[in-house]
Amino acid sequence: MKIGMLGFGTVGQATVSTLLKNAEEIGRRFGGTVELVAVATRTPAKATGQVPAHCRVSNQIADVVNDPQIDVVVELMGGIDDAYKAVMTALENGKHVVTANKALLATHGNEIFNKARQRGCIVAFEGAVCVAIPVIKIMRESMSANRIESVMGIVNGTSNFILTKMREDGLAYDLAVKQAQELGFAEADPSFDVNGNDAAHKIAILTSLAFDVPVNLAAVQMDGIAKIHIEDIKYVETMGYRIKLLASARQSESGLFVSVQPTLVPLDHMLASVNGEMNGVHIKGDISGPTFHYGAGAGGTATSSAIVADLLDIGRMLHCDARHFVPLTGFAAPRNSAPVYIAPGASVAPRYLRFTVNDTVGVLATISSELARAGISVDIIHQDVPKHGHTNVLVITHDVALEALNQALHSLQKADSIEYEIVSLPVMSN
Amino acid sequence: MKIGMLGFGTVGQATVSTLLKNAEEIGRRFGGTVELVAVATRTPAKATGQVPAHCRVSNQIADVVNDPQIDVVVELMGGIDDAYKAVMTALENGKHVVTANKALLATHGNEIFNKARQRGCIVAFEGAVCVAIPVIKIMRESMSANRIESVMGIVNGTSNFILTKMREDGLAYDLAVKQAQELGFAEADPSFDVNGNDAAHKIAILTSLAFDVPVNLAAVQMDGIAKIHIEDIKYVETMGYRIKLLASARQSESGLFVSVQPTLVPLDHMLASVNGEMNGVHIKGDISGPTFHYGAGAGGTATSSAIVADLLDIGRMLHCDARHFVPLTGFAAPRNSAPVYIAPGASVAPRYLRFTVNDTVGVLATISSELARAGISVDIIHQDVPKHGHTNVLVITHDVALEALNQALHSLQKADSIEYEIVSLPVMSN
């Protein structure tokens, strides 16, 4: 199998290094050789010393995607527009593609999959989502007997690292971000991770596979972690929960609800044990029951594990016709009904609420009667010890539609006794 | 794809039910139909009402394995000898095989794999190990870039349920077994599960895939949970550990160590959170880093999830030649060195020791000097509060070779101050 690589950053270098380090095992697993014959990178000088002697290095994408001897193009450029053009050309030229580019697939996945179907090519992308967790293979192949009921994951290591630091070391959000940056777990501008964009890309891809719907990034209801207070992290822990940036997709009678939002996860749930920069994905099938998978979500070496696995899958299929391949979204035939998404506001979940109140007689009554008036049923209500004339009232509701809750909170926000913005977070459904 | 089924017990019935329940999705995933055309069972009358109308039911294995129209034989008979004959005949006849029979593969896996290679057939067995966890696919396909360093799993739901009940409800071993039996998690004779045999079958199969060695049940060093005391479960919890029946296989410089034994698992390790009848498997690759997978380990419906996934994998490959299949053990070419196993006694791990002593001055000195004399380094030593003239001394050692430790314990066992048999359990290595 002859491969060409686009981009030679951390992941590209790690992939070359993995192919060399475990060449003996990889060769025996494959029953053949994986040969890197061309690399296109903006900085050819850097690559030249690291690639095999016979491998051509250039700064022209066309030198890879148009090279007739190349069987598989490994796209590791990052970015969207240039990568899209490169991948579409490679497919047009009948080449299989391996990509770790989640932004590309979240925005252009449908066109790329269509082009691949048309050309009888494989597009493999295990490295695009939770790299060391083979969630793409698990959903498409291992769960093929199932209707998937829900996918819930901690899929962004940066925000999980920050939340873990806040909880374990009692750091405020800003300090935890700074520490993540110092340790290389967050970018200089961390907004793409902490706002939920990166997780949204991943859950958009997973939703497509789980529920047999087109990739639809716009359908992801997204919220980030920048407004999470250390005191909520502590409060919910005493109530049996842990705050995680949860990416989730769930099928209900009223439609699909796809979201990325800071969520209360029960402490005894596997997802609560996913700490630091690690990733975890919980998938529930109607036949398999609940399953959970854990591993590194980023890093050059871990990503190369997924990329090389994709290469060997392709290697076995290299001279097969396309009907032998695993279908791109797991389904070989199209669905016969359009997907329905739950509208923002219509999503239903239990919610955690924190009201900071001035220590006034009757404030509990104000809160509970307003919630009752709105038909919102309360599971737990707890008033903390007052300090300096203020205190916190903590509520966990039963299932409530977000819009109804927000209306009630809007009224309560105006009450004289309630100070600051009311905190409102969803609790994970099982 | 036309399939024939051998055996029609819980798993067979569940598989038929899953194929019916999700026929629409399964058909679209496959892009074709999965048709059950024949069943052989000892009780044909029971099957007749449950299978599709055109499906033949007989009590003759030959009616399935020799039927020329059948593409895939699904072996769900259980037992070893008859199943072995049936599978070998099916392969000889050029049929692909799906089996959930771990005992069969643990004892005759090598012959079956050789026959399959010879005949160009697929043998799929995701249902044989930790059914809802796709550990076979993960190891053979998703981890193909890796040298696997260790596999550690809680792979027997019965013993995990019993240990969980003992810990959570403070039940003695016998009572916990009784409760497991009442709830259907243990057989009337639970010995096969609690003695570690079932787990040994599974780790023998996993070891073969992880380390590219023949299936070798005899190499599994096995110990069960029948001697686990409730007080050790409580003691180790205060020391930051949980006792689990751990099946593990690990490559070190001196060889492969494959074992099933009650083991102290650190409380913050994912495996410590696998409770009740659930299964969990932790796999560490040199490239992927640590990964962990969790799901149901038994049950007809969960097993059918694995069986149907195997069927669809085969369905796609039905008319391919064998070089396109995933290799049976993940490797297409043979290894060029013989595997080396670590001998019993030569295994090295930290150990938990409990000495029940009569409350005599100097007993701590006796223990620690004997351990020191034997060159055994102590990590934690703790003496419990004396009760009725007795007390417990708890020790966690650093790494120690089992043989050296056993010699020291043999001497200590003779000391007047030490009563009852010394408890000795390994602590999980990370």
Q: What pLDDT digit, counting tens, does each position of A129-184 carry?
A: 999 999 999 999 999 999 999 999 999 999 999 999 999 999 999 999 999 999 99
A174: which residues sit within 8 A by CB, 6+ positions away? none
Length of chain B: 430
Quick one: closest CA in B to A24, which residue?
A: B335
**DSSP one-letter code for A335:** -
Say yes or no: A126 contacts chain B, CB-CB below 8 A: yes
Query: How far is the alpha carbon of B359 from chain A, nearest alpha carbon, in Å?
Result: 40
Say yes or no: A68 contacts chain B, CB-CB below 8 A: no
Say yes or no: B18 contacts chain A, CB-CB below 8 A: yes
Output the pLDDT for position B387: 85
Quick one: closest CA in A to B17, which residue?
A: A287
Task: Report the percent of chain A where pLDDT is more than 90.
Answer: 81
Output the pLDDT for position B385: 86
Q: How far is the C-alpha of B106 from the C-alpha of A187, rounded, in Å?
A: 49
Contact A67, A4 (CB under 8 A): yes
Say yes or no: B149 contacts chain A, CB-CB below 8 A: no
Write the pLDDT tens digit of every residue in B32-77.
Answer: 899 999 999 999 999 998 999 999 999 999 999 999 999 999 999 9
Contact A199, A247 (CB under 8 A): yes
Q: Which of B95, B102, B165, B202 is catalytic?
A: B202
The beta-carbon neighbor of A29 closest among B292, B308, B330 is: B330
Residues 253-272 of A with CB under 8 A from B: 268, 270
Write the pLDDT tens digit of every residue in B209-223.
Answer: 999 999 999 999 999
A340, pLDDT greater than 90: no
Q: How far is the C-alpha of B132 from the C-alpha of B309, rounded, in Å?
A: 11
Cβ-based contacts of B133 with chain A (< 8 Å): 291
Output the pLDDT for position A130: 97
- C-alpha A130: how far from chain center: 7
Write the burial class of residue B365 (CB in 10 Å: 0-12 exposed, 13-18 middle, 19+ buried).
exposed
Q: Choose the weakest-confidence range: B259-268, B273-282, B331-340, B368-377.
A: B331-340
Q: Which of A102, A115, A202, A284 is catalytic?
A: A202
Q: Do A288 and B305 touch (CB under 8 A)?
A: yes
Q: How far is the C-alpha of A407 from the C-alpha of B288, rounded, in Å?
A: 47
Confidence class for position B111, pLDDT limits 50, 70, 90: very high
Is A202 labeled as catalytic in the residue annotation?
yes
A281, pLDDT greater than 80: yes
> What number of C-beta contacts closer than 8 Å exist between A and B?
205
Write the pLDDT tens digit of every residue in B321-340.
Answer: 888 888 888 888 887 888 88
Length of chain A: 430
Query: How far is the alpha carbon of A32 from chain B, nearest alpha carbon, in Å?
Result: 9
Q: Which region holds residue B208: left if phi is over 0, alpha if psi is between -120 and 50, else beta?
A: alpha
Interface test with B, best of A131, A142, A242 (most B CBs within 10 A): A142
Q: Are strands A221-222 and A148-154 parallel, antiparallel or unpaired?
A: unpaired
Nearest to A21 by CA among B400, B117, B17, B146: B146
Q: What number of H helices and E strands is found in chain A?
A: 15, 18
Beta bridge partners, A255, equal: A252
Nearest to B80 by CA among B62, B59, B107, B115: B107
Q: What is the ipTM of this complex?
A: 0.90
Output the pLDDT for position A199: 98
Confidence class for position A273, pLDDT limits 50, 70, 90: very high
